[in-house]
Amino acid sequence: MSISKTEKNTLLVEITGELDHHTATKIRTKIDNAISKDYKNIIFDFSALTFMDSSGIGMIMGRYKKILKYDGKMTIVSPKPQVKRILEISGLMNIVTLETSINKALKRM
Amino acid sequence: MENRFDMEFIGISENESLARAITSAFAAMLDPTVEELSELKTAVSEAVTNAIVHAYPYEPGTVGLSGKINGNTVYITVTDSGIGISDIDKAREPLYTGKPEEERSGLGFSIMESFCDRIEVMSALGEGTMVTLVKSFGSLKGES
C-alpha cells in the first residue's frame, strides 16, 4: 500500500493485493497517522485491490468516521467487481462516492 | 466428482489468506465461474476471520478447515475449540458485532449467507464453533 499527500487536502491511499482482517489492521494505523485537519479527504485507489471482505468495510468505515470530524470527504476509485459487491452489501455506497479515475475523484474534493 | 481435504492451522491473522488460497484451489476443481469462486473465497474469509477474532480471546488457538466435494457441490467447514457463541441468532443479525471497539462491521454472517446457498452454524459455550458453507456451482444447482 502507499499513502501520498496531494492537492485539495487529500490523502491518496492506494491499496494493492488483498484487504482482509490481517492487512486492514496494519493499514488502519498508517492512514490514521496521516489524517489531520490539513489532510481530511481520502481517495482510496482500489484499482489493484484483488480481494476485500467485511474487515475492509470496518476499516473504511472507521476512517470515514475520523475524517467526518474535520468535515472531510471520501471517494473510492475503480473497485473490481468482487470489491464493489462487498461495498454495495455494506451500505457504504450511501456515504462514499465511486469514481473511475483519481483525477475525477480529486475534482469532487 | 468426489474429493475431500482436512487441515488445521494456528488462528493467527496471517493464515486468513492461506485459508482462502486453499479453498480456492480446492473448489477450482469444479470449474466454477470467477464470480462463484470469489463468493466462496469471501465467505470462507469471513468464517475464518470470525474464528480468529472471536473464538480465542487470550491466545491464538487451532482453527480447522475441511472441504468436501460431492457432485457439483462444495462444503467448507471451519471449526474452532474456542469460547463458543452464546446466541447464534443474534450473532447472525446483520451489523451485529461482539467487538464494536475493534471496528468490526458486523457483516460476516450476512456475507456468508448471501454468497453461499446455505450455511450451518453450531456452537457450544466453552467448546467451540463449527460453521459449514454449502455452495453448488454451475447451472445445474442443487446438492447431489
Q: How many CB pairs under 8 A join A and B?
A: 63
Residues of A in contact with B35 (CB under 8 A): 81-82
Q: How far is residue B116 from each of residues A4, A75, B30, B139, B141, measured CA to CA in Å? A: 38, 30, 15, 15, 12
Beginning with the edge strand found earlier in the chain, give each strand of the sheet holding B118-124 in spatial order: B2-10, B62-70, B73-80, B128-136, B118-124
A61:B103 CB<8 A: yes
Residue B63 has pLDDT above 90, yes or no: yes
Q: What is the pLDDT of residue A16?
A: 98
All three cell numbers of A61, joined, read: 468505515
Residue A92 pLDDT level (bands cut at 50, 70, 90): very high
A21:B13 CB<8 A: yes
A51:B42 CB<8 A: yes
Segment A59-87, tens digit of pLDDT: 999 999 999 999 999 999 999 999 999 99
Total of domains in chain B: 1
B8 in a structural domain = yes
The CATH code of the domain that includes B56 is 3.30.565.10
Q: What is the pLDDT of residue B143?
A: 47
Mean pLDDT of chain A: 97
Segment B2-30, tens digit of pLDDT: 999 999 999 999 999 999 999 999 999 99
Mean of the pLDDT values across residues A88-103?
95
Residues of B in contact with A28 (CB under 8 A): 103
Q: Which domain holds residue B10?
A: 2-136
B69 in a structural domain = yes
Q: What is the pLDDT of residue B118?
A: 97
* Paired sense of beta strands A41-45 and A74-77, if any: parallel
B104:A55 CB<8 A: yes
Which SS3 state, helix, strand or coil, does residue A71 take?
coil
Segment B98-115, tens digit of pLDDT: 888 888 889 999 999 999
Type of residue numbered B61:
G
Residues of B in contact with A20 (CB under 8 A): 13, 16-17, 20, 45, 49
Segment A16-42, tens digit of pLDDT: 999 999 999 999 999 999 999 999 999
Look up the CATH number of domain A2-108: 3.30.750.24
Q: What is the pLDDT of residue B144?
A: 46
